[in-house]
Amino acid sequence: MILIYLIVILLAGALLAWISGNRSSIWPRIISLVTLSVDLLLLVIYLFQTVSFSNKWLIDIQYEWIPQFGIGLHFALDGLSLLMLMLTFFLGIISVLISWKEINTRVGFFHFNLLLILAGIAGVFLSLDLFLFYFFWELMLVPMYFLIGIWGHENRTKAAYKFFLYTQASGLLMFISILALYFVHGNSTGIYTFDYIQLLGTHMSASTSMWIMSGFLAAFLVKLPVVPLHNWLPDAHSEAPTAGSLILAALLLKTGAYGLLRFIVPLFPTASVTFAPIGMALGVIGILYGAKLAFAQTDLKRLIAYTSVSHMGFVILGIFSFNELAYQGVVMQMLAHGISTGALFIMAGQLSERIHTRDINTMGGLWEKAPFMGAIGLIFSMASLGLPGLGNFIAELLILIGAFKANVVMSVLACLGLIAATLYSLRILQKVFFGPKNTDWKMKDLNIREKMISGSLVIIILGLGIFPQPVFDIAKPALLKTLDNYIEKPVINSDSNKSETTKSETNLNSKLFFYK
């Protein structure tokens, strides 16, 4: 039941926050903070009660929802979703805190939208029914649209449109694929259901499986995003308010990665192996192209947005390597990128709150005005370029090693991304905190609230970098379960593709054994 409570608490909090917003602007903030803290606390308590993370679902609940179509309320939790949920609720708290002074208009409605987005994201991480998954997937769009469109910066309307149309169009393609999968499964077994567990291992021909997978891929690759489908991201990230950018970068992008891990890989084992070279190439292109564009930006938030494109390239590279090492790296990258990029967006927000610009050419020499902020900026720029000791290093290293086993060329090319990351990260520092003073800004250093926010993020990124093992332990069973098809049994679905499939499977297996 705890899983349903998590979502219901968020929804109830959202309504309360909206209603209380009419009275005063402090109540919505407190209500949101309490709501998210309760959710986080529930999860942490659960985490400490759980002795071992086995191969099974930790919690698995199922009710009927619309039985006429075989739609159920099926929520389940495993290590992967547990980690993602903790990230969601933690960053939810952070985003309420950073909006404390930034958002002064329509506070109640702002927090309503914020909590609704988080409820949608939590639902995505928990749903094991494809219809339910799509429901939550769409649910988070509208409030995000409002968040960008109402509280964003100058070009907010266009950015909000772009965000919505891109994600909705790709989401509908996924929806068609979900239905296609449903009918393919129903026609072959006679059981019409949207249930994920039952749909696993649906028999279909290679081309059918490829078509259905491409619908899913459209949604996830747009969300991730992958070059050339990334066009919405820089606009949405740079025009959103700080909390919006934080949620977009740290959580919304992760739903795409989560979708790839949870749905594409287990549901379409053969098709995704066929797609793997393209997927890895897309990842490498994203890494290099994102880094190059990041280097060329002058708008600080846009710059950080493009670094996300680059970092998410690593995620897709890892996912299509199909081995445990890379997958551990992917999970670590999702967490570390969420924290570090989130922190950079927070820094950008704090800067523009003080000097009302995001143009890094007008900044410079801010270290002496705000040394604490500078130090935070330094830590997270280092995290972004992959300095050992911080979470991102572990993540990117693991992904590269994992990818090396699967495809040497791609892995080598991806390594170049680390150099590019150094360039853009140092450029942030150089332009903002060091270098010549272009304008003599009058600004204060961080206050207590902001120090607490940034400090907690620093602790987590350090923790992930120095003691990554607990994360690995939690994620491992879930990842092995995901890789089930790729390690033990070769999957043969159609005769036409038989020889090819077996070949690629054995290839993969030999590589995996090599790693073991």
Partner 1 sequence: MTETDFFSLTPFLILAMAPIIIMIVISIFRNYEVVYGFSVLSIIAAIASLFYILPVIPHSIAPLFIIDGFSLFFLGIIFFSALLVLFFSYDYLKHLDGIREEYYIILFTSTFGASLLTVANHFILFFLGLETLTLSLYILIAYEKSKNSSIEAGIKYLVLASVSSAFLLFGIGLMYLTFGTMQFTAIISAISHLKQLPPLFMYGFGMLLVGIGFKLALVPFHMWTPDVYQGAPAPVSSYIATVSKGAVMAVFIRFFFNIKGFDNPSFFIVISAIAILSMFVGNILAIQQKNIKRLLAYSSIANMGYLIIILLTGSDKGIHSAIFYLITYFITTIGAFGVISLLSTKYKEAEKINDYKGLFWKKPWIAAVFTLCMLSLAGIPITAGFISKFYIIYEGMRAGLMILIFSMVINSVIGLYYYLRVITTMFSSTDNVELPTVSFIGKMTLAIITIGILVLGVYPGWLIDFIVKYATL
Q: What are the angstrom distances between the C-alpha of 137 and each of 66, 262, 484? A: 18, 14, 26
Closest CA to 102 of 245, 236, 306, 251: 245
Closest CA to 336 of 356, 311, 307: 311
> What does the alpha-carbon distance between residue 286 and residue 222 come to, in Å, rounded to a whole number?
12
Count residues contacting partner 1 (CB under 8 A)? Answer: 31
Least distance to partner 1, CB of residue 165, Å: 6
Given the complex with partner 1, which of 11 and 30 has the nearer CB atom? 11
> What does the alpha-carbon distance between residue 105 and residue 109 come to, in Å, rounded to a whole number?
9
CB atoms within 10 A of CB 427: 18
Q: Which stretch binds partner 1 (CB under 8 A): 51-59, 175-183, 352-360, 498-506?
A: 175-183
Binding mask 471-490 for partner 1 (x = CB under 8 A): --------------------
Interface positions, 21-80, toward partner 1 (CB under 8 A): 65-69
- Looking at 224-268, list the stretches that DSSP marks H as alpha helix, in order from N- to C-terminal side: 232-239, 242-247, 253-259, 265-267
What's the DSSP call for residue 190?
A: S
Residue 172 is a binding residue for partner 1 (CB under 8 A):
yes
Residue 188 is a binding residue for partner 1 (CB under 8 A):
no
Given the complex with partner 1, which of 131 and 289 has the nearer CB atom? 131
- Out of 94, 121, 128, 160, the only residue in the binding site for partner 1 (CB under 8 A) is 160
Given the complex with partner 1, which of 93 and 116 has the nearer CB atom? 116
Given the complex with partner 1, which of 47 and 172 has the nearer CB atom? 172
- Out of 75, 133, 175, 268, the only residue in the binding site for partner 1 (CB under 8 A) is 175
State whether residue 127 is helix, strand or coil: strand
Q: Go through the chain and tell me how many residues it has.
A: 516
Contact 239, 154 (CB under 8 A): yes
- Out of 180, 200, 387, 480, the only residue in the binding site for partner 1 (CB under 8 A) is 180
> What does the alpha-carbon distance between residue 310 and residue 315 come to, in Å, rounded to a whole number?
9
Least distance to partner 1, CB of residue 389, Å: 43
Q: Which two tokens stand for residue 136?
A: 């939550």
Given the complex with partner 1, which of 164 and 327 has the nearer CB atom? 164
Interface positions, 98-117, toward partner 1 (CB under 8 A): 106
Helix (H) or strand (E) holding 72: strand 71-77
Q: Which stretch binds partner 1 (CB under 8 A): 130-138, 268-276, 291-299, 462-470?
A: 130-138
Angle made by CA atoms 248, 253, 257, in degrees to the nearest 5:
165
Binding mask 140-159 for partner 1 (x = CB under 8 A): -xx--xx--xx------x--
What's the DSSP call for residue 491?
A: -
Q: Which two tokens stand for residue 221?
A: 């690759």
Contact 346, 379 (CB under 8 A): no
Q: Is 60 left (phi over 0), alpha (psi -120 to 50) or beta?
A: beta
The type of residue at 315 is V
> What does the alpha-carbon distance between residue 232 and residue 115 come to, in Å, rounded to a whole number?
23
- Out of 46, 53, 100, 161, the only residue in the binding site for partner 1 (CB under 8 A) is 161
Given the complex with partner 1, which of 135 and 367 has the nearer CB atom? 135
- Out of 46, 135, 295, 372, the only residue in the binding site for partner 1 (CB under 8 A) is 135
Least distance to partner 1, CB of residue 154, Å: 13
Q: Which stretch binds partner 1 (CB under 8 A): 49-57, 95-103, 128-136, 305-313?
A: 128-136
Residue 12 is a binding residue for partner 1 (CB under 8 A):
no
Residue 93 is a binding residue for partner 1 (CB under 8 A):
no
Q: Contact residues for partner 1 (CB under 8 A)?
A: 65-69, 106, 134-136, 138-139, 141-142, 145-146, 149-150, 157, 160-161, 164-165, 168-169, 172-173, 175-176, 179-180, 183
